[in-house]
Structure 1
């Protein structure tokens, strides 16, 4: 299903399938300045392709290589639509990786990129800015002229207790505070749409992660095991953590904080 939501000069393309909705997920791509920002997920690629056939765009820009943001890239390239992304994102799309069953059930099987990326230079007004943390290759798209951020997965929610196995919590605090310092008037989140209070919500998320890291560090210092820390700070493991076999879980949040704690001199 593709739902079009108008936001003045920005068009939101809300993508979902019955499987993603059953899992409680959908994801949005956006069109701004005749440019598609992100490319949806594999199972929604036919609908995204049909949209682009009916509403041509100059090209596409990607925030990162996760399959719910890059799943339609092959379909775009097959139509001659150029794609612009960071070198790390292109490398991520070209890697051979079988993602977890929960991701395949929700989004469809990840397709390794084999086609060359057509050269596309987006409007200079759309700046790709690195915001690592959610993934090593994560970027946001910043339209300074219009005070608008297309945030990919930088936000998702203030108190997001789940983390991917390779997610880095500390860099997210830095990225959130940096983007908030730009005082954006609008922030479009890939899973939440238009945020009502972008600066306040970005700062609130940064504060919460920072506070949570501090609590975890304190308990690590007391010698607590990860499972006990998780239950104390984040609550018992989420069902998603169970059915993803820990790939997207509260346990990953705790483990990352422990593994990145400064070493005592």
Structure 2
């Protein structure tokens, strides 16, 4: 079997999670879906539909809230809408795109499958689940439509792809480091402690880790600008900061690359 697939399930209190992973040779990618208090946050990928659907079948679901349009977060949205008859919410920027079949590079289709179209509604600024009050927080940077969901009743943040890791080493060519910085600054103004990330999972001291990431991005930004002013090229700055070459860069034909961190900062 070329692609190895796996799903781990568990819970943190009343928050149930499914962590789906798919591996090809040494490249391993994963994505989480969370279910709590009648809502699901992100729908997993189409390539792991069998695994995620088994998880969803065990949950009571009133609605699906998507953090953004990327196919590893919306791959089973159509199934939830059609088979479980639940409303699906996403940022208004992505409603038109969601109604069409997913269009993205071949390597992402191989890993995450081909996302079917679905019919979402725009995410409200605030909403209620069965017992909790929620706030939708616009946090662009990883994608233009990115939203984090804050459970205002419990102080738990569902951060989508805003965090992922403290020390960012590669990003997609469509991402914006300056926007990510602004979004983290904004999110840190809210009252929360625990973070549920769609790739790193549960982070008990999540607010502290987001602050660490922000400090790291401040440092990288300052150093990149300083080295550029001293006359170093983009490639020289990249080799200085990010000497390691990651296989995802080759596999994605450069869509994922540390170079994009440098060019994003320099504008």
Shared fold, TM over 0.5: yes
Query: Which structure has greater helix proportion?
Result: 1
Q: What is the aligned length?
A: 256
Aligned partners of 2:106, 2:138: CA distance in 1, in Å?
A: 29
- Structure 1 residues 6 and 166: CA distance shift in structure 2, 3 A: same
Whether 1:160 aligns to 2:168 is yes
1:116 to 99, 102, 119: 119
Q: Which residue of the partner structure matches residue 88 of structure 2?
A: 83
Normalising by structure 1, we get a TM-score of 0.88
Deviating runs (4+, > 6 A) in structure 1?
118-121
Q: How does 1:175-194 map to 2 (within 5 A)?
A: 175-194=183-202
Asked if the contact 1:99/1:110 (under 8 Å) is kept, the reply is no
1:254 to 250, 256, 262: 262
Aligned partners of 1:86, 1:220: CA distance in 2, in Å?
A: 36
Q: Which runs of 5+ in 2 are unaligned?
A: 1-5
After TM superposition, give the deviation of residue 107 of structure 1 in Å: 1.5
Aligned partners of 1:218, 1:2: CA distance in 2, in Å?
A: 44
Asked if the contact 1:237/1:251 (under 8 Å) is kept, the reply is no
1:64 to 43, 65, 68: 68
Aligned partners of 2:96, 2:151: CA distance in 1, in Å?
A: 25
Aligned partners of 1:244, 1:119: CA distance in 2, in Å?
A: 31
Q: Which residue of the partner structure matches residue 263 of structure 1?
A: none
Asked if the contact 1:64/1:135 (under 8 Å) is kept, the reply is yes
1:4 to 4, 9, 22: 9
Asked if the contact 1:246/1:252 (under 8 Å) is kept, the reply is no
2:251 to 239, 243, 247: 243
Asked if the contact 2:88/2:120 (under 8 Å) is kept, the reply is yes
After TM superposition, give the deviation of residue 136 of structure 1 in Å: 0.8
**Higher mean C-alpha displacement, 43-52 vs 95-104:** 95-104
> What is the SS of the residue equivalent to 1:12?
strand
- Structure 1 residues 6 and 174: CA distance shift in structure 2, 3 A: same
Whether 1:134 aligns to 2:142 is yes
> What is the SS of the residue equivalent to 2:225?
helix
Whether 1:234 aligns to 2:242 is yes
Q: For each residue in 1:181-214, what CA deviation from the matched residue of structure 2 results, as whole angstroms up to 9, or x when unmatched?
A: 3241210011111113212110110011111011
After TM superposition, give the deviation of residue 110 of structure 1 in Å: 3.6
Asked if the contact 1:142/1:148 (under 8 Å) is kept, the reply is yes
Normalising by structure 2, we get a TM-score of 0.88
Aligned partners of 1:34, 1:145: CA distance in 2, in Å?
A: 15
Aligned partners of 2:182, 2:121: CA distance in 1, in Å?
A: 33
Query: Which structure has greater strand proportion?
Result: 2
Aligned partners of 1:127, 1:243: CA distance in 2, in Å?
A: 37
Q: Which runs of 5+ in 1 are unaligned?
A: 260-265
